[in-house]
Structure 1
Amino acid sequence: MATEKLDASSSSSSRFDHTPYYCEENVYFLCKKLSEEGIAKSDGSDLFVVFISNEKKQARKASHRADGVILWDYHVICVQKGKESNLPHLVWDLDSTLPFPSPLATYVAETIRPSFQLFSEFQRVFRIVHAPIFLRCFASDRRHMKDPAGEWVFPPPSSEVIVAEDGTVHNLNEYMEMSSLDVVKSIEADTLDAVLTQKLGVLVNESQLEEVFSQIS
């Protein structure tokens, strides 16, 4: 069980707002609802937002295709720290075909680790941001979803655009910019501190992802 109020067998992604191609906004409102409904801690301190991309802006993800693979420019998920040490960390991914939520270990094995060798430029990088910070600092006016003529590439959510507490209207690009050169060399105490305190969190590679969550207290 994730909490006493909801576990992986009783949850349904249909309970949460979802607009195709707007995964960053989907996760923003997902974090809020998990906290408001008592599924997560009321301050969201057990939730983490994870951006997945790379320098080529092409990240592999599980899909409905026959081979189960698709390349997206980026993707965003929510990871919930296990409530107790004997409970798994959970991944909340509104676009996944896996159970919702899924244990982090299962998600990594099924979605992140490829069954074939990826070229180095397609190796995924993960930006881990503490949800309480993300909810205060993230902003998107959806400009990235308009073509040069100002028309929507994909229909936007019906909700108002997200404005950060400091009045910033758009900073999605800051979260999406990732380079393997900026990935931490190892998971140290200062790495964990940065996850919990820095606006843009930290960048890790796929072999470090589970390690980070195993060490965050």
Structure 2
Amino acid sequence: MDGGRAAAVGGDPSPIAAPSNPPALSSRPVDVSSFTHTPCYCEENVYMLCNELIRTGVADPAGTDLYVVFISNEEKKVPLWHQKAGHSDDGFICWDYHVICIQSRRSKEVLDFVWDLDSDLPFPSPLIQYVSEAIQPLSFGNSRYARLFRVVHAPVFLQSFASDRSHMKDPEGNWIQLPPKYEPIVAEDGTTNNLNEYIMMSVGDVADRERMANDVYCNKHGVVLNETIFPEFFAQLPAPHT
């Protein structure tokens, strides 16, 4: 759970050399401490972050420039770097899943940004920097560690997502990690828990690019991308439906 527990691995997956750093941010980083953050509840943190970006005018009033991204795989072993919870100098950790927000205005003049409350990279970070430094292409090809990315348009996610936090309780009903102080998130249709529907993903869920570019705006669970498609996906999106 990025979120919750780091997945056990036999050894750190080795990345290839990352590309050189991109140009400096076009605007000053935002104070990460101004956002709601409960350790190990990345999905709820991103839900709250999207609402705050909309409320403060950093995002479009309807949140159409925001995308929630669940990162996981069939093995529930997701290598990421530059995570504050990492225990090495490069911030390496292997989560069972992680959740971030990407802000994309699809403009050549404005960079796509990643909002990751759990990263030690600039907040927000240009997408190109986040991909090269936090995701880091793996040095081996068809690996069980290969990441999948479920991309959900924020306006859809904010209406549909729900969590009763039961995934953070042990079999006796005790909290594994203390929950947020606010009430659990309930979907507009009354659903109280569908977190697993967003986390579960497999390579078979990856569709063709043209279909995904349209489906991301209407599918409750968004679309699933692999590591090859993900870095270029947002640059190829059509304008969101209004």
Q: Deviations over 1:87-144 (max 9, x none)?
A: 1100000000100000001100111124543662111000000000000000000000
Residue aligning to 2:39: 20
**Normalization by structure 1: what TM-score?**
0.92
d(CA) in 1 for partners of 2:27, 2:222: 27
Larger displacement relative to structure 2 (128-137 or 108-117): 108-117
Moved over 6 A (4+): none
Which residue number in structure 2 is paired with residue 125 of structure 1? Answer: 148
- Which among 112, 128, 140 is matched to residue 105 of structure 1? 128
* TM-score normalised by length of structure 2: 0.83
Tell me which amino acid in the other structure corresponds to 2:215: A
In the TM superposition, residue 32 of structure 1 has moved relative to its aligned partner by 0.3
Residues in 1 aligned to 2:27 and 2:141: alpha-carbon distance in whole angstroms: 31
- Structure 2 partner of 1:43: 62
- 8 Å Cα contact 2:103-2:112 kept in structure 1: yes
- Residue identity matched to 1:22: Y
Q: Which residue of 1 aligns with 2:220?
A: 199
Contact kept in structure 2, 1:8 and 1:101, CA below 8 Å: no
CA RMSD of aligned residues (A): 1.5
Q: Name the CA distance, whole Å, in 1 between partners of 2:69 and 2:51.
A: 15
Deviates more, 1:116-125 or 1:99-108: 116-125
Does the CA-based 8 Å contact 1:8-1:99 persist in structure 2?
Answer: no
Question: Which digits, 9 at most, give the CA deviation of each residue in 1:172-205, with x for residues without a partner?
Answer: 0000001012112x311x2111101100010001
Unaligned runs of 5+ in 2: 1-25
Identity %: 52
Give the counterpart letter for 1:51 in structure 2: F
CA–CA distance in structure 1, aligned partners of residues 166 and 229 of structure 2: 32
Partner of 2:209: 187
Query: Which structure shows the higher helix fraction?
Result: 1
1:85: which partner in 2?
A: 108
Q: Equivalents in 1 of 2:90, 2:49: separation in Å?
A: 29
Displacement of 1:83: 6.5
Q: Residues of 1 paired with 2:225 and 2:200: CA distance? A: 13
- Structure 1 residues 68 and 39, CA, compared in 2 at 3 Å: closer, same or farther? same
Q: Secondary structure at the match of 1:196?
A: coil
Contact kept, 8 Å, 1:187 with 1:211, in 2: the verdict is: no
Contact 2:170 2:176 in 1 (8 A): yes
